[in-house]
């Protein structure tokens, strides 16, 4: 009799548990699963096209479309820059300056120059400047371009270059603009690369011959 009552109690308890369990579709959130999974995954927008991406350096390498002039006096002086002096060899007997040309092309100024060293023991070495003038202010000229140095004894004669915004500064009444970024990137030597103003030669007018009396 006791065995029968025990079986009936187990059956009743099992039925009560089933009755208290709601259907799966309406199962209440639990601490282990706060919400049922969505019936459909959320829509995802397509990413931006990868074409036309720009480098973070793009602004530093932008093309100059107009030379900004804040000092007419400085611009007039810089327009007369005609020589390149290379400090590395300037004090050696026999050293000679190179040539540089400042050109106005509409609203844009350009500068291009080179010096080939002829000082004894330095033959074959050279330095150059090639770029567009970005701005001219009092005692300062910014050129966007490249300065290059070739020295046979440095890095097996490889050309060492400095590129980007190149700052040329002049002090006081000096007529020389020195490259601020003039440290050779291959050995750290200050090249003392200078652009020098040269006063235009005054054209001499022929003197009329004196009339014979």
- What b/e string do you get for 26-52 counting C-beta neighbours within 10 Å, with b at 16 or more? eeeeeeeeeeeeeeeeeeeeeeeeeee
What's the pLDDT at 123? 92
What's the pLDDT at 40? 73
Least confident segment among 66-70, 185-189, 193-197, 207-211: 207-211
CA distance 195 to 114: 10
Please, what is the end-to-end C-alpha distance for the chain in angstroms?
Answer: 170
Mean pLDDT value across the chain: 82
What's the pLDDT at 19? 47
Residue 52: which residues within 8 A CB-CB, separation 6 or more? Answer: none
Least confident segment among 26-30, 106-110, 118-122, 185-189: 26-30
What is the share, in percent, of the chain residues with pLDDT greater than 90?
A: 61
φ and ψ of 86, to 5 deg = -110, 105
Residue 18 pLDDT greater than 50, yes or no: no
State the pairing for strand pair 98-105/108-116.
Answer: antiparallel
Model confidence band, residue 39 (pLDDT cutoffs 50, 70, 90): confident
Confirm whether 95 is domain-assigned. yes
Confirm whether 23 is domain-assigned. no
Confirm whether 37 is domain-assigned. no
Section 180-193 average pLDDT: 95
Confirm whether 141 is domain-assigned. yes
- Residue pLDDT, tens place only, 128-163: 999 999 999 999 999 999 999 999 999 999 999 999
* Structure-token pair, residue 27: 């199962």
DSSP 165-202: EEEEE--TT--EEEETT-B-TTT--B--EEEEE-PPPP
Confirm whether 73 is domain-assigned. yes
Asked whether 190 and 181 are in contact (CB, 8 A), the reply is: no
HEC readout, 42-102: CCCCCCCCCCCCCCCCHHHHCCCCCCEECCHHHHHHHCCEEEEEEHHHHCCCCCCCEEEEE
What's the pLDDT at 122? 92
Model confidence band, residue 14 (pLDDT cutoffs 50, 70, 90): low
The count of structural domains within the chain is 1
Residue 195 pLDDT greater than 50, yes or no: yes
* Residue span of the structural domain in which 91 resides: 61-197
pTM exceeding the 0.95 threshold for the entire prediction: no
Confirm whether 48 is domain-assigned. no
Residue 44 pLDDT greater than 70, yes or no: no
Residue 72: which residues within 8 A CB-CB, separation 6 or more? Answer: none
3-state SS class at 133: strand
3-state SS class at 3: helix
What is the share, in percent, of the chain residues with pLDDT greater than 70?
A: 67
Section 115-133 average pLDDT: 94
Confirm whether 179 is domain-assigned. yes
Strand partners of residue 196: 83, 176
E-strand stretches of 106-172: 108-116, 126-137, 140-150, 159-169
């Amino acid at each position: 009799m006791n065995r029968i009552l025990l079986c009936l109690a187990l059956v009743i308890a099992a039925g009560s548990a089933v009755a208290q369990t709601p259907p799966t579709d309406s199962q209440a959130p639990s601490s282990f699963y706060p919400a049922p999974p969505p019936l459909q995954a959320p829509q995802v927008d397509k990413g931006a096209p990868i074409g036309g991406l720009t480098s973070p350096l793009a602004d530093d390498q932008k093309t100059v479309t107009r030379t900004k002039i804040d000092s007419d006096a400085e611009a007039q002086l810089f327009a007369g820059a005609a020589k390149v002096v290379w400090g590395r060899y300037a004090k050696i007997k026999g050293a000679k300056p190179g040539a540089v040309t400042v050109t106005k092309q509409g609203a844009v100024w350009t500068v291009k120059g080179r010096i080939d060293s002829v000082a004894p023991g330095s033959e074959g070495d050279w330095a150059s400047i090639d770029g567009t003038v970005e701005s001219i202010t009092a005692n300062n000229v910014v050129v966007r371009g490249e300065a290059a140095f070739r020295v046979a004894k440095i890095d097996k004669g490889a050309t060492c270059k400095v590129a980007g915004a190149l700052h040329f500064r002049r002090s006081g009444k000096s007529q020389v603009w020195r490259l601020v970024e003039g440290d050779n990137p291959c050995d750290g030597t200050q090249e003392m690369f200078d652009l020098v103003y040269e006063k235009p030669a005054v054209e001499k007018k022929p003197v009329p011959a004196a009339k014979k009396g």
